[in-house]
């Protein structure tokens, strides 16, 4: 139930002082997620192995690792999306706003309202217009106020850097947009319900370089208001748009540090081998 979740602590938006190096480890104050000893199984297969990590608030955290290392599974554990897959089991805690997301009294639907998700393949609802796609979440949550809906429609599309491209075509089908625009439409849909966190599972992997850059630019802008966790196979993308990077291998968290540190001088040999292409 939403009532059982205390309001998120307000986090001051930091301005980056380029003269001061970022610390190697995430800032200790107000992590968005406190993941403690998280393990997760698909049937008998342990996909996530005893992961402990504090995901910093209002920052971009990238999760990298080879295919099958558990990075998408870990992401889904942050809003219980894995529960949509049969025979899954979780141990450990994911603290969000001081509450364990896996407590029996927490409503998964409400978690997903506060912790939005953008998937690898853009998935606008095919029968809905651009405007309907953006507003569907609000309408499902019972919002009927026309002014509020219009206001949120424009705000979400502006935040997703799509407004100027679609403002005259809001009634056109969402699937009439290009691949990059569809993905930004999905981001607008995710932020329309004003979540606190955006989980992104390879959001630009199917896009061309220009559309990819627009998504990356958008991520950089959105982090002022959202905690973003992004799974990516593209290490240049991780180094460009994230503040912190976590490297996963075979379900385990190998290293988590400031992105600049990970890509210039990682501590663990496995991380170095992976990011330099000496893996496997």
Partner 1 sequence: MEEKRHILGTFDEALRSLRENVLMMASLTERNLNHAIAGLLQRDDELCALSIADDAEIDELEKQIDKDGIDVLLRFQPVASDLRRVVSAIKMNSNLERVADQAVSIGRRARKLNQHPPLQEIELIDPMHRHAVAMLRDSVDAYMREDAALAREIKPRDKALDEMNSNAGRTLTERMGDNPEQLRGYLNLMFIARCLERVGDHATNIAEDAVYAVAAEDIRHMHKKPAIEEQHSPEV
Binding site for partner 1 (CB under 8 A): 235-236, 239, 263-266, 269, 272-273, 275-280
Phi, psi of 251 (to 5 degrees): 85, -10
Closest distance of CB 254 from partner 1, Å: 14
By C-beta, is 156 or 239 nearer to partner 1? 239
**17 alpha carbon, distance to own chain's centre:** 25
By C-beta, is 23 or 141 nearer to partner 1? 23
Which stretches does DSSP call E strand in the chain?
A: 31-42, 45-56, 60-64, 88-96, 99-100, 115-118, 197-201, 227-231, 244-249, 252-258
**221 alpha carbon, distance to own chain's centre:** 14
Closest distance of CB 231 from partner 1, Å: 18
Closest distance of CB 277 from partner 1, Å: 5
By C-beta, is 37 or 265 nearer to partner 1? 265
Closest distance of CB 265 from partner 1, Å: 3
By C-beta, is 100 or 234 nearer to partner 1? 234
Q: Which residue has the tokens 């509450």?
A: 99
The two structure tokens encoding residue 154: 């424009």
Paired with 198 in beta bridges are 116, 228
């Amino acid at each position: 139930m939403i009532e059982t979740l205390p309001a998120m602590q307000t986090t001051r938006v930091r301005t980056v002082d380029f003269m001061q190096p970022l610390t190697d480890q995430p800032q200790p104050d107000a992590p968005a997620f406190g993941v403690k000893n998280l393990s997760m199984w698909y049937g008998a297969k342990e996909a996530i192995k005893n992961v402990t990590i504090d995901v910093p608030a209002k920052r971009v955290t990238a999760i990298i690792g080879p295919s099958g290392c558990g990075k998408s599974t870990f992401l889904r554990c942050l809003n219980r999306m894995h529960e949509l897959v049969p025979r899954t089991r979780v141990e450990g805690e994911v603290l969000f706003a001081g509450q364990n997301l896996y407590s029996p009294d927490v409503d998964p639907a409400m978690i997903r309202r506060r912790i939005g998700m953008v998937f690898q393949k853009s998935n606008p609802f095919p029968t809905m217009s651009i405007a309907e796609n953006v507003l569907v979440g609000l309408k499902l949550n019972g919002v009927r106020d026309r002014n509020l809906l219009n206001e949120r429609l424009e705000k979400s599309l502006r935040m997703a850097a799509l407004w100027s491209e679609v403002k005259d075509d809001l009634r056109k089908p969402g699937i009439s947009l290009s691949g990059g625009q569809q993905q930004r439409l999905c981001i607008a849909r995710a932020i329309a319900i004003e979540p606190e966190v955006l989980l992104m599972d390879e959001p630009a992997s199917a896009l061309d370089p220009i559309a990819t850059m627009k998504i990356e630019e958008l991520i950089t802008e959105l982090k002022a208001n959202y905690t973003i966790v992004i799974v990516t196979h593209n290490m240049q993308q991780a180094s460009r748009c994230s503040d912190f990077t976590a490297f996963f291998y075979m379900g385990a968290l190998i290293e988590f540090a400031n992105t600049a540190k990970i890509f210039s001088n990682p501590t663990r040999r496995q991380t170095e081998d992976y990011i330099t292409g000496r893996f496997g």
